[in-house]
A and B are shown apart, each in its own frame.
Chain A
Amino acid sequence: MRAAWKNHLTGYAFISPFVIGFLAFILIPAGASLYLSFTSYDLFTTPRWIGLDNYKEMFFQDSKYWQSLKVTLIYVFLGVPLRLAFALLIAMLLNTASKAVGIYRTVYYLPSIIGGSVAVSIMWRNIYGDEGIINLLLNTLGLDSIRWFAEPFAALWMLISLSVWQFGSSMLIFLAGLKNIPNELYEAANVDGAGPVRRFFGITLPMLTPIILFNTILQTIGAFMTFTPAYIISKGEGGPLDGTLLYSLYLFRQGFVYFDMGYASAMAWMMLIIVSIFTAILFATSKFWVHYESKGD
């Protein structure tokens, strides 16, 4: 009896940092934010209970909210699939040329490891500048320059292209997955005379589906929370015409520029709900498209 008690206590001793951290930095703050979302609060005076007013304002009055939700959804639905397709393509290239020269690999890894830094956002801002290389390239092709910082959709495209360029972490995970596919499968397919296209759709893609699911979930959540590039590229404003006002940036502005903590909390909870719905849909549909190998064969 005493030994059993001791075991439980030892277990909790080891995980206690997580339990304490979860309560102090996640659960209590999350609860507080739920409460604050029903209040008007500016950090300096006491929170004033206003019921559902924040949510009402969000849904029915705040056109900026809908704008930020719209650009975020475009960003997620264009950016994530493009990035994953790109990541898979590069991972397959690297996998076939597995013993290729180091420099070749490094060229592909590099964007992934530096992708999130402020320096890269600054760089992106400049290659899309009015006299940047993208416009120069368009001019050489006989096309007109695009004023990337004046057109809302052009500016959003700038962010999407940056997110595609940061394909690296998903590529690494794909690469690990590709290495786990047994070679015998491909050999058998070769014997049966399957071409590269059939090998891809018949073996590679089905075998990778668990990893595709994992990557899609992680990347979708990550994309919803994108902050740094939008903040740097639009200099914190979300312009032009709110074209790059991603959800996180708008939340940040509501909370820490206008000090409307109640509204920002309501936005955070809406985001949690939206992300949960997406994750739930992905998991629910996964049984139709994710292929799990049965154990023990």
Chain B
Amino acid sequence: MIYPVIWLLMSSFKPSEQIFQTAGSLIPTDWIWTNYSQGWEGIGGHSFGVFIKNSLVLVVLATIGAVASSALIAFGFARLKFFGSTFWFGVMMVTLMLPHDVTLVPQYIMFSKIGWLNSIKPIVIPAYFGAPFFIFLMIQFIRTIPQELDEAATIDGCGKFRLFYRIILPLIAPALATAAIFSFYWRWEDLINPVLYLNKPSMYPVSMALKMYLDADTLSNWGAMFAMSIVSLVPVVAVFFAFQKHIVEGISTSGLK
């Protein structure tokens, strides 16, 4: 199950020319760290730290946007009665199932016409308009909160926004955490959007940097590529360990039935 990952990890400590000669034996005969130092020097004149910074900027900006806007929208759907709410809820559920590919080409054309190519705007800004999967997750969560709470607050003269901000938002913290974790994973791993919109190596996120290693390397420097692959997985695994309770809880409490 986990063997491929261990193989990758161990190979990152082997000298490049030995990786395939000794592919069968897991433990390196001599442990070396030079793959990491070489890999960290980066590629195309940019250190790997630059790529990590780029990824973090993308991930953090997009995640804040997606979680905050989705919470606002979810509250609207779950707690407010207004004309057309069922219709828009239906639209949202259809959007949830819509293949991303359908809008790929026209979005690219649109963003190129307004001059957003080669910037992180096409990747970050749409996140601020809600993500259907997160909205759905949060709606399910809000529905488990007793309505009486809202009524009590309203009687006390609490407006809708304060109700959302002061009462509902703290209560749905687990769902917010789940959404944030998923958003982190998806943005960190995303490849197609950076391929389309980021064309300068100085702007590359980690996923694109790894791809660049793959393109540039003709058999020579496997070790560095493996080492940086491991580095790229570290934040993902760290986030998982830090928040693993939220991941399972968030899914089970969303009541997928």
Q: Which of A111-157 contact B (CB under 8 A)?
A: 111, 113-114, 116-120, 122-127, 129, 131-133, 136
Bound CA–CA A17/B135 (angstroms): 11
Judging by beta carbons under 8 Å apart, are B240 and A29 in contact? no
**Does A204 have its Cβ within 8 Å of any Cβ on chain B?**
no
Q: Which residues of B contact A36 (CB under 8 A)?
A: 105-106, 109
Task: Verify if B23 is at the interface (C-beta below 8 Å from A).
Answer: yes
Contact B76 A114, beta carbon cutoff 8 Å:
no
Task: Check if B88 sits within 8 Å of A18, measured CB to CB.
Answer: yes
If A20-B129, A210-B257, A214-B256 touch, whether A252 touches B236 (CB-CB below 8 Å) is no
Query: Binding site of A, secondary structure by majority: helix, strand, loop or mixed?
Result: helix
Q: Name the residue on A nearest B85 (C-beta).
A: A11
Q: Is B170's CB within 8 Å of the partner chain A?
A: no
In whole angstroms, what is the CA distance A10 to B72 when docked? 11
Contact call B100/A225, Cβ cutoff below 8 A: yes
Q: Does A183 contact B (CB under 8 A)?
A: no
Whether a CB of chain A sits under 8 angstroms from the CB of B152 is: no
Name which residue of chain B comes closest to A224, CB basis: B99
Shortest distance in angstroms between A98's beta carbon and chain B's nearest beta carbon?
A: 11
A176 within 8 A of B: yes
Interface hit among A59-67, A190-198, A267-275: A267-275
**Contact digits for A21-44, partner B, Cβ 8 Å, 1 yes 0 no:** 110111011101100100000010
Q: Which listed segment binds A: B29-37, B56-64, B143-151, B225-233?
A: B225-233
Which of the candidate stretches A48-56, A75-83, A226-234 sits at the interface with the other chain? A226-234
Residue B153 CB within 8 A of the other chain: no
Expressed in whole angstroms, the Cα–Cα distance for A159 and B61 within the complex equals 32
A108 x B1 contact (CB < 8 A): yes
State whether A131 touches B20 (Cβ < 8 A): yes
| Chain B residue at minimal CB-CB distance from A127 | B4
Q: How many residues of A contact B (CB 8 A)?
A: 84
Whether A7 touches B80, Cβ cut-off 8 Å, given contacts A116-B185, A265-B105, is yes
- Complex Cα distance A199/B252, Å? 23
Residues of B close to A88: CB separation below 8 A: none
B183 at the interface (CB under 8 A from A): no
Q: Which residues of B contact A97 (CB under 8 A)?
A: none
Nearest A residue (CB) for B100: A225
Interface string of B223-254 (1 = CB under 8 A from A): 00110011011001100110010011001100
- Whole-angstrom CA separation of A43 from B99 in the bound complex: 22
CB distance from B88 to the nearest CB of A (A): 6
A1 — which chain B residues lie within 8 A by C-beta?
none
User: What string of 1s and 0s marks CB contacts (under 8 Å) between A201-232 and chain B?
Assistant: 00000000011001001000100110110011
Given contacts A26-B103, A111-B1, contact A43 B211 (CB under 8 A): no
Q: A15-B76, A180-B257, A255-B108 are in contact. Are A22 and B233 (CB under 8 A)?
A: no
When distances are taken between beta carbons in the complex, the residues of chain A under 8 Å from B20 are 129, 131-132
Interface CB pairs A-B, < 8 A, 20: A8-B83, A10-B82, A14-B73, A29-B106, A32-B106, A32-B110, A33-B102, A33-B106, A43-B109, A106-B241, A107-B1, A109-B244, A114-B236, A117-B207, A118-B207, A131-B20, A132-B23, A214-B256, A235-B214, A252-B104
Q: A123-B229, A231-B192 are in contact. List 6 more A-B contacts (CB 8 A).
A: A14-B76, A32-B106, A228-B189, A256-B196, A261-B109, A272-B98
